[in-house]
Amino acid sequence: MIEAAPYDLLVIGGGINGVGIARDAAGRGAKVMLVEKDDLASHTSSASTKLVHGGLRYLEHYEFRLVRESLIERERLLGMAPHIIWPLRFVLPHDKGLRPAWLLRLGLFLYDHIGGRKQLPATKTVDLRQSPHGEVLEDRLVKGFEYSDCWVEDSRLVVLNAVDAAERGADIRTRTECTGLERRGPLWVADLKNDDRSKEQVSARAVVNAAGPWVDTVLGRANPGESHQNLRLVKGSHLIFRKLYDGDHCYIFQNKDDRIVFAIPYERDFTLVGTTDVAFTGDPDTIAISDEESAYICDAINEYLKTDVSPDQAVWSYSGVRPLYDDHSANNSTVTRDYVFELDAPDGAPPILSIFGGKITTYRKLGEHALHKLSKLDVVPAEAWTEGATLPGGDIVSGGFDAFVSQMQSRFSWCPDDTMLRLCRAYGTLVTDLIGDADSWADLGQDFGAGLTEQEVNFLIVREFSKTADDILWRRSKLGLHMTAEERAALTEWFGRCNPVAAS
């Protein structure tokens, strides 16, 4: 039985597209519910290469509109969340026999100019024989180009959008699966199964299907008996090694198969390397890197690094499925990364808007476009508002991020500087909410290791929808990389002992 008043919008999927739409809609005054069958960002949105970028290689496929929109959004997002997004410099070596130097420089010239770059430095030519590159790269590599893009803490971007959506009135339900959808007159009726196995029904005037790899599955529930095969699932995998080189710069390496592989400083002590493009037909819930992908990544970077690496040296790996719109491209690498909408809105019936593809960089613009379509059906108000609106913790103004960190390190001098830097990166101006009235490290409760305290864990439960140790170790943070197996186990035990609702 449905007792509550209907929602204006039911969003299915807690990845970046779903939470971005929920935030935008809630900020327009709509009554919104978002359901995610697992944790926020537990699939594709936490398995990216962690970049807010224009997509340099998309220029080769003539996707100029996508690149331009992405580059414009890159600077907008940098202003919205300067704690979790920051500039990087990428070094692209020229290698004989691959793309010629003039073509690389032309592409980078376009990359610098078609998006109206304002904050980030322009491309420059670099001598790879000089430090720091000469000690790292093969001797044959003489010339390269250095250009700008941005890093993003991808899973935190998802969570902060969900937090902001909730603060604006959205009902965010993690570990809640939509198991059925049915049109009844002017409303959708959704069957929900919660993490405690209880069931309920809710109604909504419209549905946004942002289920990522499961978007066709949701469509099948909404329109049973119809065939839905709009997706091409492409697996991308990454390896993480102990730091392979010093410095804050990244490398982008060309491969002989025309793909590229990144090497990026990661979590202070590591180097992130990836990604792959492999057709995927299995269950996205059980995805993992294959031996062939591990070998591919290592072979690719070994073409450029003086010191070779092997798969067994990796300390961690992760994989995700990109739910791309199937444009029938012959090559997985050339399938469009642009987003595509499918609106099913028969006369007099409640609409369902399904989302295919997309990338982290354009999630905010995607949300605007999606709600523009729904506003024409009087589902949500038409007024867009998210451009320039900071995300929680992103309202850092005076002096920028570095000055803010210095202020917090001085104010909380009893907190180790490296831990305070991590906290400022994760929470921005909300770090003061997390610390509260604590006057010493001991006031923060149990120390789980790697600077993670009981007070931070409780903050993540109350404010950021965390329900398990893994939510914190691998999505709200990457502290799992820095902790021992015993420390990780202690956090899991704490959840079972002190937070039984979250551990269920």
Q: Which amino acid is at 155?
A: S
400-503 placed in CATH 3.40.50.1820: no
Place of tokens 């003039």: 102
**84 dihedral zone (left: phi>0; alpha: psi -120 to 50; beta):** alpha
d(CA 374, CA 368): 10
Give the residue ranges of the chain where pLDDT is below 70. 1, 3, 228-229, 327-337, 499-504
Residue 114 buriedness (CB in 10 A; 0-12 / 13-18 / 19+): middle
CB hemisphere CA count around 339 (13 angstroms): 23
d(CA 490, CA 472): 13
The reported pLDDT for the residue numbered 160 is 98
CA 359, chain centre distance (Å): 9
What's the pLDDT tens digit per position in 188-212?
999 999 988 899 999 999 999 999 9
What's the pLDDT tens digit per position in 272-302?
999 999 999 888 998 999 999 999 999 999 9
38 SS3 class:
coil
Instruction: At 397, give phi and psi (nearest 5°).
Output: -120, -65
CATH homologous superfamily for 9-44+156-230+336-375? Answer: FAD/NAD(P)-binding domain (3.50.50.60)
The reported pLDDT for the residue numbered 504 is 37
d(CA 97, CA 99): 7
d(CA 150, CA 88): 5
DSSP string, 295-355: HHHHHHHHTTBSS---GGG-SEEEEEEEEEE----SSGGGS--SEEEEEE--TTS--EEEE
CATH homologous superfamily for 232-322? Answer: D-Amino Acid Oxidase, subunit A, domain 2 (3.30.9.10)
- Which tokens in the block code for residue 398? 């005076």
Classify strands 316-325 and 85-93 as parallel, antiparallel or unpaired. unpaired
d(CA 295, CA 287): 17
Spell out the domain ranges in the chain: 9-44+156-230+336-375, 232-322, 400-503
Classify strands 447-449 and 9-12 as parallel, antiparallel or unpaired. unpaired
The reported pLDDT for the residue numbered 502 is 44
- Which tokens in the block code for residue 82? 């300067």
Among 43, 40, 22, smallest CA distance to 31 is for 22
Q: What is the largest CA-CA distance in the chain?
A: 71
Count Cβ atoms below 10 Å from residue 308 Cβ, excluding itself. 11
d(CA 238, CA 391): 28
CA distance readout (Å), 458 to 164, 405, 446: 18, 23, 11
The reported pLDDT for the residue numbered 334 is 52
d(CA 34, CA 142): 52
- Which tokens in the block code for residue 378? 């009087």
Count Cβ atoms below 10 Å from residue 462 Cβ, excluding itself. 9
Among 399, 406, 440, smallest CA distance to 421 is for 406
Place of tokens 């490398």: 251
44 SS3 class:
helix
The reported pLDDT for the residue numbered 1 is 62
The reported pLDDT for the residue numbered 3 is 61
The reported pLDDT for the residue numbered 503 is 40
d(CA 252, CA 264): 9
- Which tokens in the block code for residue 460? 């993540």
Place of tokens 């065939």: 227
- In the sheet with 352-357, reading across from the earlier edge strand, the strands are 171-174, 32-36, 9-12, 207-209, 352-357, 339-344
The reported pLDDT for the residue numbered 19 is 98
